[in-house]
Structure 1
Amino acid sequence: MRAGARIMVIEDDATVRTVVADHLRAAGCEIAQYADGASALAAVRARIPDLMILDRMLPVLDGDEVCRQVRAFSDVPIIMLTALDSVDDRIAGLEDGADDYLSKPFSLRELQLRVNAQLRRATAATAPLEFTAGRFRVDPAHRRVWVGGREVALTAREYELFLYLVRNAERVVSREEILREVWQWAFGDESTVTVHVRRLREKIETDPRFPCFLTTEWGAGYRLTVAEGVRC
């Protein structure tokens, strides 16, 4: 099991959901639990996990529809759980975009092995590639950043903050969201974010006193602009 893998468990049966979540958490995974398809889909849109374990029969929005909608914007591995065990049912789940299909009742050991297999495949298929966003160039494999062709030296936390901002470019992200997603804190002193944003500006802005790329949206958070044509 890959330590720290972020896994969503979407299951309306509270007992099954808790047992699966506890088992994978004990194996070192970060677990988010959802009891219906609509809330799970909203969570995936906000932050794509490393893997989804998706019950097929869900309230509000069923697993088939969740799977179809997720596949419109992400290749996240999906293991579908279901009490329906016919060949046609398995084929239908796979056609909707599931990567694997496990019938209830199932062994937790078998589920863990299937999770391991999907995570290995996803890791092999998504080796970090260098990318460009406006004037910024990022090499995730070596944790290097260039601004306007000039490499800048970032601390580990500054790099993680910048990577999160550039992957959410043009969107306002709150200090609370940054604490949760970058620091992995459920709560904490938001001034920590303020300090790191100030330090990051000193490295990526022409004049940190008057930032034009990493701007403050008063009362809301921060926005990183990467669109071409921004002038400072």
Structure 2
Amino acid sequence: MRVVIAGAGNVGRSIAAELLENNHEVLLIDRDPRATKAEAVPNAEWLLADACELSTLDEAALHRCQVAIAATGDDKANLVVSLLAKTEFGVPRVVARVNHPKNEWMFNESWGVDVAVSTPRIMAALVEEAVSVGDLVRLFTFRQGEANLVELTLPSDSTCIGNRVQDVSWPPDTVLVAIVREGRVLVPTGDTPLEAHDELLFVAVTEREKELQELLCPHQAKKARQS
């Protein structure tokens, strides 16, 4: 897979290093010569130019990329790169970094963003996830499909404990994608039983989150309604 990353700072270089380890082809773009540290990511391609310029993205052959990542420290630049990548070059997947939470509302399909990554939001979600049992915690939002990655730690009084995955009447537009159990990540099958304190990861549309909470933790959902 070919990936172009706009922004070769610490974030961009770290992403590039991870992708290269997984045998992807990576091109880093930055207009600041000080950010061009080829020795830090020796297997990446580098382009010293302004990623907000159409000519730069054309030189980068964005039309051949499967993924574009806008990872600069400037939200305005990330939005421009995302919009150009999607509308001018038809990049299938555009991921954009949100530096300031107040700007997060703009990082959507209107600006060509498929996935917006907000570090403050993720950190807050992880704090909630660490202390909440029985509460549905939204970890991540997939902007294009209006779906979310959500987590719920199954409390010991859940009525679903002991049921197999295939026997649970999951809400529509909801998919159980992983179970974290005793430090191991399990890919659920129809015969996988649910156990107390399982961390369940779902991809679900927003309007189904309440149903999911009520299905897995009816007592918690009732308490939330009464508060």
Q: TM-score, normalised by structure 2?
A: 0.38
In proportion to residue count, which structure has more strand? Answer: 2
In proportion to residue count, which structure has more helix? Answer: 1
